[in-house]
Amino acid sequence: MPGAMNSATPDLPYFLKALKSRDVEPCIELLADLLKRRQIRTPRLCALATTHLLRRVLADFRGANADELLLRIRSVGRRLIAATPREMVVGNMVRRVLALIREVAEGAILGSDRSVSDEGLDGDSERDGDSEAEKQESRNHSPVRHRPNLSSGISTFSPLKHGATEPASMVPPKAEGELPGTYTPLPIRPSLQTALTQVSTIAPTAQQMFGLFTQPEIDDDPSGVDSPALQSVKSSGRPENFTEVPLKDIKAEVLESVREILDELESVDQEIALYALDHIHADEIILTYTASLTVQNFLLTAARKRKFTVIHVEGYPNESASTVTTIFGGRPQEFNEELELADEPFKPLTAAGITVIMIPDAAVFALMSRVNKVILATHTVLANGGLVAAAGAGNIVKAAKVHQTPVVVLSGVYKLSPIYPFDNDELIEWGDAGVVERYSDQEIVQKLKVFNPLYDYITPDLIDLYITNLGGHAPSYLYKIVMDHYDIKDVNLED
């Protein structure tokens, strides 16, 4: 099917065009293929493609109720994730859409059941604009009441009610929290081990405690009744299945919300760039790595007001070409005009009067003592505040730690994944060894093992600050943003 247009390499625009003209099933198939062949790469493009596809799936879905819709999205999501398991954003977008559907469906139930429904519905579906999200979140459920003396790791999976999902929403956040009276304080917290193993989906204890979450569909799970946490959730009025929610009641709203996610994906770089002046002072020496539109935008925004020096590290071999094109021409290799909605054309930092020094990745340690700040783009951010970034970022971040240089990570919320990294090696994708050593070199090919890891896992303690489109956060706070954007029932998409 993609072979039909083999004259041009299929990429995201190709997929988006196909999405308009083809049926849903072939489109899912096509995207899975493109992801599998890494013809759509980079988190941003993957997120866009996934969201566009999910929107189409939603629009075309002809089911009876919300639960069927959830199942359908989950199954599509599983196929996409299987195609590119380490591109977390694909899963993220699927989970966000799932959370959306839950929100809207919950709203529909509450709307019909409760007198406070208006408030609840509004709060659920429209809450959470930009950086207000966390403020409001804290207003809604006081952390003191709901999160007593627990580490952030466990809190990630605490069965609190989850906020709504559209951070880019233009609707001003509601001042009143939703359903303030319906929460009861959690009487008992699950133990740390239980909470952690819960996500790995294998521990039987987890099933006992959180059975609800490991079997997220339409649930009649009796084991969950034992859990005080669960009871609290139930008493908070979260319906466990949406079989009685007719699809037609929620479809329009869900589609609208998905469109807002797309808006967010398009404006995320600009939103992050708004914080640039808060973080860059005059005459600073900033070190950055890889070619990233987010970082470029950020630095360009700062460059309008301040003069500073950028040390751009060229990561050999995977990032090298795109880094050079970014430094020399201002746009990463994957840059695609059709997708770029920014009004002004992209320009290199040097055009903004910034001194850019390109160094090879080996020289990072040597220069780190003179660097004021490290600003990194990331591949994925994980729920514990750690991240997965291009190979070589580990060298930079460690060197920064050794030299006490602050490390700032720029990441759209869409890169924030509810996955908790239990096995770091699992997160690492290994790339084509041919870019390290040409296969034409007989001596090398026959006798040497050549490796080319694409990513590094970076632990949260090495990061000083995250800047997302919602603002700046400490790594320890990310769990909260995860909770705001995803539903715990969707962390594990497997059946």
Residues that bind other proteins (CB under 8 A): 309, 314-318, 320-321, 324, 327-329, 348, 350, 353-367, 369-370, 390-392, 394-395, 398-399, 402, 428, 436-437, 441, 443-444, 447-453, 456
Q: Is the Cβ of residue 428 or residue 465 nearer to other proteins in the bound state?
A: 428
Tallying the residues shown for the chain, one arrives at: 495
Report how far residue 196's alpha carbon sits from residue 215's, in angstroms, rounded to the nearest whole number: 16
Q: Is the Cβ of residue 229 or residue 327 nearer to other proteins in the bound state?
A: 327
Give min distance, CB of 322 to other proteins, in A: 12
Could you tell me the two tokens for 212? 């609800």
Q: Scan for tokens 């009685």, then name that residue.
A: 244
Q: Is the Cβ of residue 140 or residue 288 nearer to other proteins in the bound state?
A: 288
Give the orientation angle of helix 293-305 with respect to helix 247-273, to 10 degrees.
Answer: 50
Greatest Cα pair distance in the chain: 77
Give min distance, CB of 361 to other proteins, in A: 6
DSSP state of 285: E
Q: Identify each DSSP E strand in 346-422 by its residue range.
A: 355-360, 373-377, 380-381, 387-390, 407-410
Could you tell me the two tokens for 223? 């084991």
Give min distance, CB of 44 to other proteins, in A: 22
Question: CB 405: neighbour CB atoms within 10 A?
Answer: 20
Specify the amino acid at residue 261.
I
Give min distance, CB of 175 to other proteins, in A: 47
Q: How far apart are the first and last CA of the chain?
A: 29
Is the Cβ–Cβ distance between 486 and 425 less than 8 Å? Answer: no
Q: Is the Cβ of residue 231 or residue 452 nearer to other proteins in the bound state?
A: 452
479: enclosing H helix or E strand? helix 478-485
Give min distance, CB of 455 to other proteins, in A: 10
Q: Is the Cβ of residue 203 or residue 444 nearer to other proteins in the bound state?
A: 444
Q: Is the Cβ of residue 193 or residue 369 nearer to other proteins in the bound state?
A: 369
Residue 488's nearest CA partner among 264, 263, 201 is 201
Report how far residue 410's alpha carbon sits from residue 378's, in angstroms, rounded to the nearest whole number: 7
Give min distance, CB of 285 to other proteins, in A: 8
Give min distance, CB of 388 to other proteins, in A: 12
Burial of 139 (0-12, 13-18, 19+ CB in 10 A): middle
Give min distance, CB of 448 to other proteins, in A: 5
Is the Cβ–Cβ distance between 365 and 331 less than 8 Å? Answer: no
Could you tell me the two tokens for 13? 């625009």
Q: Is the Cβ of residue 268 or residue 364 nearer to other proteins in the bound state?
A: 364
Q: Is the Cβ of residue 266 or residue 429 nearer to other proteins in the bound state?
A: 429
